[in-house]
Amino acid sequence: MGALAATAAIASTAIGAGMSIYQGVQQNAAYRVQAETTQSYAQMQQFEAGREAKRIEDDGNRFAKKQKMMYIGSGVEYGGSAIVTIAQTKKWAAAEAGAKRARGAAIVEYGRQTSRIQRGRGRASLIGGFAQAGRKIYSYADAKGWAG
């Protein structure tokens, strides 16, 4: 094998190893961006769930006040079953709001877990890129009888 061919083979191996590293770095960066996006989306969903929960509570309280005014306005004495009905309205609103908040918390936790997995995949890609580069260099050295 001539000097030019040997130089080309070394250059080809070096470029292949460099490309493996580059791909690992790029995949790691892509997974990190994906993880950040996932986590941001989950936080936004939690915020929206909290906002919706607040709206449900406010609507429930307004409806309970309206019920009270309807009872008073219709001449029904405010007490007994009227109080129970209004209390049930408030209890229902609180339960619905709590469910929305719990859903928001679950979405955030899912986002955290997914982000951790995505970051792990990125690290694995980075390590895999370096490992693949090492294998290419070793294979070339082995083929030349330099390894060993």
Distances (CA, A) of 62 to 47, 72, 95: 23, 15, 16
pLDDT of residue 148: 66
Query: CA-to-CA distance for 12 and 117, rounded, in angstroms?
Result: 34
pLDDT at position 100: 97
* Whole-number Å distance between alpha carbons of 89 and 126: 56
Radius of gyration from C-alpha coordinates of the chain: 32
**How confident is the prediction for the chain on average, in pLDDT?**
93
Write down the pLDDT at residue 103. 96
User: Cβ distance 64 to 89 under 8 Å?
Assistant: yes
pLDDT tens sequence across 79-120: 788 888 899 999 999 999 999 999 999 999 999 999 999 999
Q: Mind listing the pLDDT tens digit for each residue in 30-73?
A: 999 999 999 999 999 999 999 999 999 999 999 999 998 888 88
Q: Note the pTM of the prediction, 2 decimals.
A: 0.74
